[in-house]
A = this chain, B = another copy of it.
């Protein structure tokens, strides 16, 4: 997606060899017109799959997912991040390790909103090692619903999520794929 690549080049900040900061249009300040274009791109790729719901994770996934949900005309569920806590029978919970932020958290989704008849599209802003995506996948499978694919805004290919998630046979559709952030440069694969 050229618009996205251009914004990454123009406004993204390479913090180090593994972190790209896109706070000015995705993670703190959000560009709603970009979100709309991203939503349309996910619609184009996934609309044949009879998606019934989108599952994302707070906070930066929400804007993207809501626009995709608008074009696909389906509800969006956002998983809530919280510190590991006691068991609650009303929620699906999976532990996620964020290497970028160096924290563990639980992602929680109410059992009320996922059903065995659902066909779930997972959406997230970044794909790095694949831990958050794996947690959302596991929650969906635990509910009995099916995962039809994953829509990602920016994939950092060098952090090898696709290899880590290989066994899932998941259709991962990323709008921008970064091969390397070395030498303070963004090198795209796509």
Contact = CB atoms under 8 A, between A and B. Distances in A.
A100 interface: no
B59 A80 contact: yes
Interface in A1-32: 23-25, 28-32
Interface residues of A, number: 31
Nearest to A113: B29
Chain copies in the assembly? 2
Nearest to A28: B110
Contacts of A73: 32-33
Contact of A28 (B25, B31, B33, B80): B80
Interface of A: 23-25, 28-33, 35-36, 58-59, 62-63, 65-67, 69-70, 73-78, 80, 109-110, 112-113
